[in-house]
Structure 1
Amino acid sequence: MSTALRLPGAAVRAAGTFSPRAGAAVAMPFFAHVAKPRPVHADDAPTMSLARRRTLRIPGVDRRGVDVVVYEWGRGPRTVVLSHGWLGRASQLSALVRELTAEGYRVVAFDGPAHGDTGGRHTYLVDWLDVFAELQQRHGRFDAIVGHSFGGLAALVGVAGGVDAARVVTISALADADQILRGFQRMIGCSDAVMAQLRRRFAARYFPGDADPFAWLSAVRRPLPDGIPLLIAHDEGDRFVPFGESARIAAANPGARVMATTGFGHNRILAADAVLDAVVDFVTADAADLAPAPVRVLPAAEAVRAKDAAVVG
């Protein structure tokens, strides 16, 4: 269990023995709560210093308004949006920024609410969707969205829901929001009954009128529209998001290209040269060349070096 959740977890379990509703009430403040952001890694600082920085306003999960910090590199009509994961920040994706700007793309990234340099304490997937919508107003159709972990799920759900992107790349992505609930339950150590009540309480507070928002926040139940190419990269040894999530995403999106790696885990995969090459090749390829491809396993011994980034996504 996470150290930060050890004491809250004990409180949730104790309240849950009294009643599942009591346990859910205690758990609620900790679900969608974001820990203190990690600093920018030294290797990423030079790239971040070159960004054109601005803010955009979104409602935020509590609908009080959040000013999201946005970063932009490169110029021109071709735009790629990068979407970081939970407890991550835009700087995690610096290696991709360098690769894509070298290919002539305008690259846009952001720090989600309560992440990186964006303020707040709570956030959820809908905040990422609101950011995509605002960026679309400014930049028009995206040539691609590349999303890591939680940000990969957001990319899939966003494009399935109408965000206009020519292609999608996910790295270490979740297949649906239920996996977020399962992960939280593992960290907090509470019962299924408490989680069922937490699910209802969260929906009632943040999605009034929607009995089960987790149902549509799913890349399995809401696959990409026909004709949208998808590249899925995932490491078999990922300890944060099970590798099986990539198979679930692929099963819901026939024709997706799947790249399986070993030795990079959840975060180092973002800077693995073999993965960077695959993403750039996919983003820059002619549409006619994006036919389905078999799973490709890249053992760490054969793949080129990856940066040991000390971040969590």
Structure 2
Amino acid sequence: MDLVLATAGQMVRTAGRLSPRWGAALALPLFAHVARPRPVHPDDRSTMEVARRSAIRIPGVDRRGVDLAVYEWGHGTNLVVLAHGWNGRASQFATLVRELVSDGWHVVAFDAPAHGESDGRGTYLVDWIDALAALQRSHGRIHSVIGHSFGGLATLVAIAEGVQADRVVTIAAPGDADLLLAQFRTMLGYDERTSAALRERFAARYFPGESDPFARLSPLRRALPPSMPLLAVHDEGDRIVPFGELARIAAAQPTARTVTTRGFGHNLVLTADPVLDAIVAFVGERSTILQPHTVRAAN
């Protein structure tokens, strides 16, 4: 834990002992805080440089409007949309973009608010959902949505909310928003009373008027349409999103097929050849990968 995080945790814990509501008030901005955008990896620059660039506008968490950077490769009506994770950016999909475009797919990705080249200072799940809905409005029906980590959770929720797609792929995705709040509590170390107050404040801030927003944000309680093909990928050694989330997602979705990896972790899985092959095959509706299997990183 770095010094800034340790200091923040101490402040939240101290305030929470005096009043759980005070602790929650300090914690909520930290929950929506995004670190400085990660740089584009040198291996990904050439792919990003040839992208056709545009922007979409979504309401944003403060509902004042925010412009998102959008990247586009390939052509045609067979659209694949990519959704990166928290503290990620669209460029992380560069290797997958090259694979998909070489197979003839039209690919679109975006940087969420406060990520990559997009505007904004804070964000939450609603922004990913709004971005996917906006891309559908501008491009029409989506063939496949592929989401990594937080973007995978957002993808599942967006489909349940009405975004139309033929296929869904999640990579290292959490099963619901409750996990994220639990991880945040562990990271800052505040008590149960402050945790309960934060849940209430979170619901009032991001979902005013909703009696149970956590049901809305849970693919475990709001499964995809029964006929929706889903491919779920997760690495056994993932240190960011627990590997057990794969089983929770698959259990909630009868059509799910899983790919388990070993040795790639949370982010390298995006560039692992066996995973790329499985995703491209699944998106192309090839039946050969429609069985659960495990792939391992080379030594």
TM-score, normalization: structure 2? 0.97
Listed as ranges, the gaps of 5+ residues in structure 1 are 303-313
For 1:58 and 1:2, the matched residues in 2 are separated by 33
Deviates more, 1:36-45 or 1:211-220: 211-220
- State whether residues 235 and 266 of structure 2, in contact with CA within 8 Å, keep that contact through their aligned partners in structure 1: yes
Structure 1 counterpart of 2:128, which letter?
W
Alignment of 1:97-136 (within 5 A): 97-136=97-136
Listed as ranges, the gaps of 5+ residues in structure 2 are none
- State whether residues 228 and 255 of structure 2, in contact with CA within 8 Å, keep that contact through their aligned partners in structure 1: no
For 1:137 and 1:37, the matched residues in 2 are separated by 27
Deviates more, 1:183-192 or 1:257-266: 183-192
SS of residue paired to 2:131: helix
- State whether residues 281 and 289 of structure 2, in contact with CA within 8 Å, keep that contact through their aligned partners in structure 1: no
For 1:120 and 1:186, the matched residues in 2 are separated by 27
Which residue of structure 1 aligns with residue 62 of structure 2?
62
Measured after TM superposition, the shift of residue 86 of structure 1 is 0.2
CA RMSD for the aligned pairs? 1.4
Count of residues paired in the alignment: 299
For 1:94 and 1:277, the matched residues in 2 are separated by 14
1:297 aligns with 2:298: no
- State whether residues 278 and 289 of structure 2, in contact with CA within 8 Å, keep that contact through their aligned partners in structure 1: no
Measured after TM superposition, the shift of residue 285 of structure 1 is 1.5
- State whether residues 168 and 229 of structure 1, in contact with CA within 8 Å, keep that contact through their aligned partners in structure 2: yes
For 1:18 and 1:229, the matched residues in 2 are separated by 49
- State whether residues 229 and 290 of structure 1, in contact with CA within 8 Å, keep that contact through their aligned partners in structure 2: no
SS of residue paired to 1:166: strand
SS of residue paired to 1:181: helix
Which residue of structure 2 aligns with residue 143 of structure 1?
143
Measured after TM superposition, the shift of residue 189 of structure 1 is 1.1
Which residue of structure 1 aligns with residue 230 of structure 2?
230
Measured after TM superposition, the shift of residue 83 of structure 1 is 0.3
Measured after TM superposition, the shift of residue 3 of structure 1 is 4.5
1:5 aligns with 2:5: yes
Structure 2 counterpart of 1:196, which letter?
A
Measured after TM superposition, the shift of residue 50 of structure 1 is 0.5
Which residue of structure 2 aligns with residue 14 of structure 1?
14
Which residue of structure 2 aligns with residue 276 of structure 1?
276
Deviation by residue 1:170-190 (Cα, 9 ceiling, x = unmatched): 000010011110111111111
For 2:290 and 2:264, the matched residues in 1 are separated by 24
- State whether residues 52 and 71 of structure 1, in contact with CA within 8 Å, keep that contact through their aligned partners in structure 2: yes
Which residue of structure 2 aligns with residue 310 of structure 1?
none
Which residue of structure 2 aligns with residue 266 of structure 1?
266
Alignment of 1:75-86 (within 5 A): 75-86=75-86
For 1:257 and 1:245, the matched residues in 2 are separated by 14
- State whether residues 255 and 292 of structure 1, in contact with CA within 8 Å, keep that contact through their aligned partners in structure 2: no
- State whether residues 262 and 296 of structure 2, in contact with CA within 8 Å, keep that contact through their aligned partners in structure 1: yes
SS of residue paired to 1:170: strand
Which residue of structure 2 aligns with residue 191 of structure 1?
191
For 2:211 and 2:62, the matched residues in 1 are separated by 17
Measured after TM superposition, the shift of residue 206 of structure 1 is 2.2
For 1:48 and 1:214, the matched residues in 2 are separated by 35
Which residue of structure 2 aligns with residue 156 of structure 1?
156
SS of residue paired to 1:167: strand
SS of residue paired to 1:276: helix
Measured after TM superposition, the shift of residue 292 of structure 1 is 5.4
Calculate percent identity across the aligned residue pairs: 60
Which residue of structure 2 aligns with residue 240 of structure 1?
240
Deviation by residue 1:147-196 (Cα, 9 ceiling, x = unmatched): 00000001111111211100000000010011110111111111121111
1:254 aligns with 2:254: yes
For 1:3 and 1:102, the matched residues in 2 are separated by 45
For 2:28 and 2:77, the matched residues in 1 are separated by 43
TM-score, normalization: structure 1? 0.93
SS of residue paired to 2:165: coil
SS of residue paired to 2:98: helix
Measured after TM superposition, the shift of residue 290 of structure 1 is 7.9
Change (3 A) 1:18 1:115: same
SS of residue paired to 2:166: coil
Measured after TM superposition, the shift of residue 300 of structure 1 is 2.0
For 1:252 and 1:291, the matched residues in 2 are separated by 20
Which residue of structure 2 aligns with residue 305 of structure 1?
none
Structure 2 counterpart of 1:165, which letter?
A
Measured after TM superposition, the shift of residue 245 of structure 1 is 0.3
